[in-house]
Amino acid sequence: MTTFMSSPSRPSGDLALTLAALGWHVFPLSARDKRPLANCLDCRDNPECARDDYTACPCLPDGQWCHGVRAATTDPDRIRTWWRRQPAAVPAVAAGPSDLVLIDLDAHTDQLPADPATELLPGTPITPGDLPGGFDQIRTGRDVLLLLARIRGGNHPWPSDPVHRPVSVVTPSRGRHLWYRAPRTDGGRRLRQALGTLGWQIDIKAGWSYGIAPGATTAKGPYQVVTGDPAHVGRMPDWLADEVLRVATDRPVPPPAPAPAAPPASGGRPAAYLTTVIDNGAAELAALADGRQRALSALAYKVGGLLSWSGLNRGDVEDRLVDAGLASGLPQRLTRRIVHRALTNGLARPLAGPTRHASTAVR
Ligand SMILES: [Zn+2]
Ligand SMILES: [Zn+2]
């Protein structure tokens, strides 16, 4: 554990090898933009590689890094080869293959959602007794997870006892990554859904979703392990496992959001609304077995229509959509092309934002 906490300048390849030896499945990200390294030219032109499952791609059995998270491995020879070719690559960890779940607690300076009582923890109403100090004390995903612990009557979300202690990482943006052993679903099935939102600024990454490796350093700074041991990753407290299973196992596809109507009443926090649309769309995308290209295109088109109204920056939104596509396993070049085209088309047909009532119904 101390090695993870005290060697910020460790070469990326060594970190990848160390984690792989502990059963963490790793793959390389570009040091420049923290996205998976590009596929080879053969994959670009191979129609089989545009399929959703990549089973026909010859590069994966051949040990190439094509298709990002799908290439994740614990094979030290493969990892040595990758980092010999790209010594600056940032190691990422594929959650599901490593039998891990990442709880990603953001610390954005976003405004609170329009209706915090129902939107901070969708599906879990918050009563005044849960939060005696009022909503003003909620700033980050960390605050929301602590609130959820209180509502569920559970113990601390990241306990210090070795059985339950996650690998806890402070990110360069002052967020927190909590890596836990994946909880068992009924019947021992693996978590199916790659992404889920447990609450405001709390994302769940499981299955074919991934996170920057604990101990890695990017251009923005270190992902510093503050507690926990990658060799002995703790289990979630039961209350937290129940919550994660609730949002990260198969669930019925939610009904479509109501059609946008009048402009927002009282300012309506359009940026937060559109961010929620993207996050929920990303979660649904990750849950699809097929049809992801079409779903990504539809999402980007809708987001494009709401972009001017939201006041969000196009570049940021495009990045988020590309991340959603990549996290669902779509290949990089295809993802960028779909997002760019659909977002541009959507922007050309602007929509009015929803009413406040509609915004609380988005799931
Ligand atoms: Zn390839
Ligand atoms: Zn391929």
326 CA from centroid of ligand 2 (Å): 14
Q: Of 250, 285, 309, which marks where a domain is finished?
A: 250
Looking at the fold, whether 168 and 263 belong to one and the same domain comes out as no
- pLDDT for residue 45 is more than 90: no
Looking at the fold, whether 269 and 148 belong to one and the same domain comes out as no
- pLDDT for residue 108 is more than 60: yes
94 CA from centroid of ligand 2 (Å): 18
Q: Of 250, 265, 285, which marks where a domain is finished?
A: 250
Looking at the fold, whether 16 and 162 belong to one and the same domain comes out as yes
Summarised one tens digit per residue, pLDDT across range 282-336 is 888 877 777 888 888 889 988 988 888 888 888 888 888 988 888 887 888 888 8
57 CA from centroid of ligand 1 (Å): 7
Looking at the fold, whether 174 and 44 belong to one and the same domain comes out as yes
Token pair recorded at residue 84: 């010999």
Q: Of 210, 233, 250, which marks where a domain is finished?
A: 250
Angle CA(287)–CA(139)–CA(302) in degrees, nearest 5? 40
Looking at the fold, whether 216 and 276 belong to one and the same domain comes out as no
- pLDDT for residue 124 is more than 80: yes
What is the pLDDT at residue 152?
Answer: 86
| Domain total of the chain | 2
Looking at the fold, whether 25 and 65 belong to one and the same domain comes out as yes
Summarised one tens digit per residue, pLDDT across range 207-259 is 889 999 999 999 999 999 999 999 999 999 988 998 888 877 655 444 444 44
58 CA from centroid of ligand 2 (Å): 6
> Is the pTM of the predicted complex or chain greater than 0.95?
no
Domain of 82, in residue numbers: 1-250
What is the pLDDT at residue 356?
Answer: 45
Q: Which ligand is nearest to the CA of 56?
A: 2
Looking at the fold, whether 295 and 228 belong to one and the same domain comes out as no
66 CA from centroid of ligand 1 (Å): 5
Looking at the fold, whether 206 and 322 belong to one and the same domain comes out as no
335 CA from centroid of ligand 2 (Å): 14
64 CA from centroid of ligand 2 (Å): 9
